[in-house]
Structure 1
Amino acid sequence: MTSKGYNKTDTYAITHETDVDYDLQTSLIVSDQNGQPLAPVAQRLVSADGSYATYGDPEPGLPVKHHLDEVSDCIQFLDEQGFAKPLVHLIDREGDSVGHIRRWEAADSHWLVRVKDNPNVDYQGKPMACKAVAQELAFSKTRQVSYHGQTYWQWVAETDVTLTRPAKPSQKKGKKPAVPGIPVAARLVVSRVLSDEGDVLAEWLLLTNVKDVDASTLALWYYWRWQIECFFKLVKSAGHHLESWQQESALAIAKRLLVASMACVTVWAIAADKSKEAAELRLFLIKLSGRQMRHKKEFTNPALLSGLWVFLSMLEIMQARQDFSRQLKWGPSDFSSEK
């Protein structure tokens, strides 16, 4: 546990250039101690008809906001919920928007954003691109991590920077003027995964306003963030097959997503748990799923999800049977006969 203690929310969006109908935004809360999932805490589905979320009122017929404006509304909502520990909002490179960072800073939110290589920050009194600042830093060897199935060392460096550049609103509907704003003091944390030969296999440039957590831990938090891809894989292609759903309204899809999301987080937690009880539960669910595993493969998340569905269906049937027998005042023996 860190000195202050944090929960972390990770905001993702299923968006790409081929998207046509829907935009899904989900915030998951994960542990700052081991990166394991706790729960989906907010969700918003946006369609051409409007926005449907687990917070606020439905907004059918209203113009859809810019995506980061939606994210910012979600961050504000979560910060107002009074969690026992402060939240740190982890956002991918889409969050590299100085205008929105200023909004989060003004609201006293804790944020950790992966930034792009080129945007300038003020470093030692002069403007420099984040990538160039990273080249000036001294790195420390921190821990071994898994990268593409292999084990490598993670190296971390940090320095203080200031964001002074003006915000540049979206240009999709015509060019808009740059918007100046107050300076934002931040920490630039650079995380690298190096091969044994010293080659840079991966690099993440991270900006944050979290002050009382060491840079190594912040780099680990962002490393854990990538594990959340298994959640969206289960939702989209390897479990619930979201993109094949046949609901005709955004509201119907939003309601179904709430149930599917909780199931995916439950499976993710079962898969990540290292306890003996969790191992026994995984074996039980795999047997229920009827799936065959590859040699030396204990389980897969899609198989666990399939087994969980069978298990919950069995529980529902058993509960219905119990309720039915109680209603008719029958005992279990009344449902069987001997010949």
Structure 2
Amino acid sequence: MSYKHANKPDTYAITHDTDIGYDLQTSLIISDQTGQPLAPVAQRLVSSEGSFATYQEANPQPIVQNHLDEVSDCIQFLDGQGFAKPLVHLIDREGDSIGHIRRWEATGSHWLVRVKDNPKVDYQAKPMACKAVAQELAFSKTREVRYQGQTYWQWVAETDVTLTRPAKPSQKKSKKPAVPGIPVAARLVVSRVLSDEGDVLAEWLLLTNVKDVDASTIALWYYWRWQIECFFKLVKSAGHHLESWQQESAMAIAKRLLVASMACVTVWAIAADKSKEASELRLFLIKLSGRQMRHKKEFTNPALLSGLWVFLSMLEIMDAYSQEELDSLKATAQQFLGKDM
């Protein structure tokens, strides 16, 4: 989150001297059956004064230097919350860290990580890069998916691998030795999106310790993970415009962010619902928003968010005023706006 406002004294340089703001981490729960959002379940905001998280004490905690260490703390917290179903933690390529994977494995967490091309795994008793292993596999045609606005087929392959390489801590501030660890048995699931001509449009190399779910479903889960980008777009730029907020501290931003995040998840769920009732609600919210839609475009998530805000305000007014009071206010307004109001 980039903030260059002078009224926020607790911002800090996140990655370099001109990258000023707060660091934000959000964990969302989505359905394993539909991919639809259920709720934001954890958030953490880091300022120069420390870390504010929904899973820690009220006072700010010291800044965690390694982002994945903080992610691991969040995973451990969520696994201890007693949800009705076990959680599978989906993490992008940042999670391709054998040291942290070993930590998740040791605590019994279920994880699904997109990995980079080059790190090696043991395949058929010899070390090979994940990309090279993928070239050895036989793929099966699974389902049609949307990719960059078009419909293509998803192809999936899998194999068992073992992670034996040592962990390599960050070398940014000082040289650190590699850290050996116990082998980790995992599944390498490779998901490809192919054109009708057979060209590879996208490829995801996925490692997971989830054993009792077929590879096609694993690939689908990660495909759904990409849909959460609409959540962050609503929060940051196209809806709430997070980086324009004027609150003067990380704590104030964090409190407002909790409410805004739930609103964004609600809009995401309304947008994804295929029922007739949800379609009618979307049309109603678009009308309330006052937004113009492009030709053949039923709705946009920012317009739904805007319409939802108007609708909630209407409901609050209807609870606060009787029908007689509203009729009286309407008659008064007609004196100023004309009889055709």
Q: Deviations over 1:183-242 (max 9, x none)?
A: 000000000011111111000000000000000000000011111110000001100001
In structure 2, the partner of 1:204 is 204
Asked if 2 retains the 8 angstrom alpha-carbon contact of 1:51 and 1:58, the reply is: no
Q: Offset of 1:315 from its aligned partner?
A: 1.7
d(CA) in 1 for partners of 2:293, 2:172:
48
Please give the residue correspondences for 1:71-110 in structure 2 after superposition, counting only pairs within 5 Å: 71-110=71-110
For structure 1, the 5+ residue unaligned runs are 1-14, 323-330
Q: Deviations over 1:129-181 (max 9, x none)?
A: 00010011111111111111111111100000000111111222212111111
d(CA) in 1 for partners of 2:52, 2:221:
29
In structure 2, the partner of 1:7 is none
Paired amino acid for 1:291? R
In structure 1, the partner of 2:324 is 332
Q: Offset of 1:16 from its aligned partner?
A: 7.3
| 1:160/1:237 CA distance change after superposition, 3 Å | same
d(CA) in 1 for partners of 2:78, 2:136:
37
Q: Offset of 1:49 from its aligned partner?
A: 1.2
Secondary structure, counterpart of 1:60 in structure 2: coil
Q: Offset of 1:334 from its aligned partner?
A: 9.5
Please give the residue correspondences for 1:47-66 in structure 2 after superposition, counting only pairs within 5 Å: 47-60=47-60, 62-66=62-66
1:179 equivalenced with 2:186 (yes/no): no
| 1:19/1:316 CA distance change after superposition, 3 Å | farther
| 1:248/1:295 CA distance change after superposition, 3 Å | same
Q: Offset of 1:60 from its aligned partner?
A: 2.9
TM-score normalized by the length of structure 1: 0.90
In structure 1, the partner of 2:6 is none
1:311 equivalenced with 2:303 (yes/no): no
Asked if 1 retains the 8 angstrom alpha-carbon contact of 2:153 and 2:194, the reply is: yes
TM-score normalized by the length of structure 2: 0.89
In structure 2, the partner of 1:70 is 70
Secondary structure, counterpart of 2:20 in structure 1: coil
Q: Offset of 1:335 from its aligned partner?
A: 7.0
Please give the residue correspondences for 1:106-125 in structure 2 after superposition, counting only pairs within 5 Å: 106-125=106-125
Q: Offset of 1:26 from its aligned partner?
A: 0.4
Please give the residue correspondences for 1:1-339 in structure 2 after superposition, counting only pairs within 5 Å: 19-60=19-60, 62-321=62-321, 332=324, 336=328
Asked if 1 retains the 8 angstrom alpha-carbon contact of 2:155 and 2:191, the reply is: yes
Q: Offset of 1:320 from its aligned partner?
A: 2.9
Paired amino acid for 1:286? I
d(CA) in 1 for partners of 2:274, 2:170:
45
Asked if 1 retains the 8 angstrom alpha-carbon contact of 2:235 and 2:242, the reply is: yes
Q: Offset of 1:248 from its aligned partner?
A: 1.1
Q: Deviations over 1:29-85 (max 9, x none)?
A: 000111000110111111121111111114536233310011001100110010000
d(CA) in 1 for partners of 2:254, 2:326:
43
RMSD: 1.8
The answer to which of 44-53 and 185-194 deviates more is: 44-53
Secondary structure, counterpart of 1:198 in structure 2: coil
| 1:332/1:171 CA distance change after superposition, 3 Å | same
Paired amino acid for 1:336? S
Q: Offset of 1:21 from its aligned partner?
A: 1.7
| 1:166/1:297 CA distance change after superposition, 3 Å | same
For structure 2, the 5+ residue unaligned runs are 1-13, 333-341
d(CA) in 1 for partners of 2:160, 2:324:
70
d(CA) in 2 for partners of 1:29, 1:126:
37
